[in-house]
Amino acid sequence: MSELQTLVGRPWKKPPFVQRPWLRWALLIGFVAYLIAAFMTIEVNWARVYEGLERGKQFVLAFTSPDFTSRSGDIWEGMIESIIMTVASSVVGIAISIPIALGAARNIAPLPVYLICRSIIAVSRALQEIIVAILLVAIFGFGPLAGFLTLSFATIGFLSKLLAEDIESMDRVQAEAIKASGARWTQWINYGVQPQVMPRLIGLSIYRLDINFRESAILGLVGAGGIGATLNTAFDRYEYDTAAAILLMIILIVMALEYLSGIIRERVQ
């Protein structure tokens, strides 16, 4: 080994991110001091922590005996409402996202259309789903309508941005060849752009469907309908076995969607 090192010289070693040792140590000590100071500003009620540990233990143990029967009617009704809300909002959101994504792609849209579509995406992405849901619940009242509108709004921001970026990075040669043949704008989009982004669009749509179902469970906590309302009621009544049953059903449905999306993406690609 020593003979090999003599022949090849000293082995390469990754240089440190900060070259000066005193500055590196100063930054490290400063970071640790900041963490300690930040932790000391947190007010911790250890009595409540102790009570929470006991409830957490009961909740974890509830997963060993989930109760699917006591409130089966409410669980079934909430789950169906969540699924309908998820599918409807995904379909509407995706349908609106496609023209917005085309307008937000700088390589195919004129500047005024590009700015308008990018503004729509920015507004949609700036507002978190819970905030939008609270606002819509205040406007339309409790129920799945607020959840449907919230998820549709969130789908537009998510899908339009990613699809627009995919369009901007597509192969221009194929698209220009279609345009050079004298095709109209709609034919150019259909034969030059759509074949290149369709696998990505399908993959993103299925992924968004997965996200919308999980979000529907969260939106129910603020009164936007779905299985989240049933879950919230179970927690309020300390019915941890029912809450565990609902969470297990959500996990199973998400896993099924993940498995289904993998199969579809593999076939499309």
What is the domain extent for residue 196? 71-268
Q: What is the pLDDT of residue 8?
A: 64
pLDDT tens, position by position, 87-119: 999 999 999 999 999 999 888 888 999 999 999
Region of 13 (left: φ > 0; alpha: ψ -120 to 50; beta: rest) is beta
- Three-class secondary structure of residue 255 per DSSP: helix
- Three-class secondary structure of residue 141 per DSSP: coil
Which one, of 36, 14, 13, 40, lies nearest residue 28 by Cα?
36
Rounded to the nearest angstrom, the gap between the alpha carbon of residue 139 and the centroid of all alpha carbons in its chain is 25
- In whole angstroms, give the CA distance from residue 239 to residue 216: 21
pLDDT tens, position by position, 41-82: 888 788 888 888 888 888 888 888 888 888 888 888 888 888
Contact 128, 107 (CB under 8 A): no
- In whole angstroms, give the CA distance from residue 87 to residue 152: 10
- In whole angstroms, give the CA distance from residue 64 to residue 244: 9
Contact 175, 192 (CB under 8 A): yes
pLDDT at 1 over 60: no
pLDDT at 32 over 90: yes
Domain assignment of residue 20, yes or no: no
Locate 39 and state its tokens.
Answer: 């932790």
Contact 171, 105 (CB under 8 A): no
Q: What is the pLDDT of residue 37?
A: 92
pLDDT at 239 over 90: no
Confidence of residue 2 (pLDDT cuts 50, 70, 90): low
The whole-chain average pLDDT of the chain stands at 84
Domain assignment of residue 248, yes or no: yes
- Three-class secondary structure of residue 86 per DSSP: helix
Domain assignment of residue 27, yes or no: no
Hey, CA dihedral for 76, 82, 86, 89, is it positive or negative? positive
Task: Looking at mean pLDDT, say which of 90-94, 128-132, 144-148, 230-234 comes out highest.
Answer: 90-94
- In whole angstroms, give the CA distance from residue 129 to residue 127: 6
Q: What is the DSSP letter of 142?
A: S
CATH number at residue 108: 1.10.3720.10
Domain assignment of residue 251, yes or no: yes
Q: How crowded is the C-beta side of 50, counted as CA atoms within 13 Å? A: 3
pLDDT at 261 over 80: no
Domain assignment of residue 81, yes or no: yes
Confidence of residue 33 (pLDDT cuts 50, 70, 90): very high
Number of structural domains, the chain?
1
Domain assignment of residue 22, yes or no: no
pLDDT at 34 over 90: yes
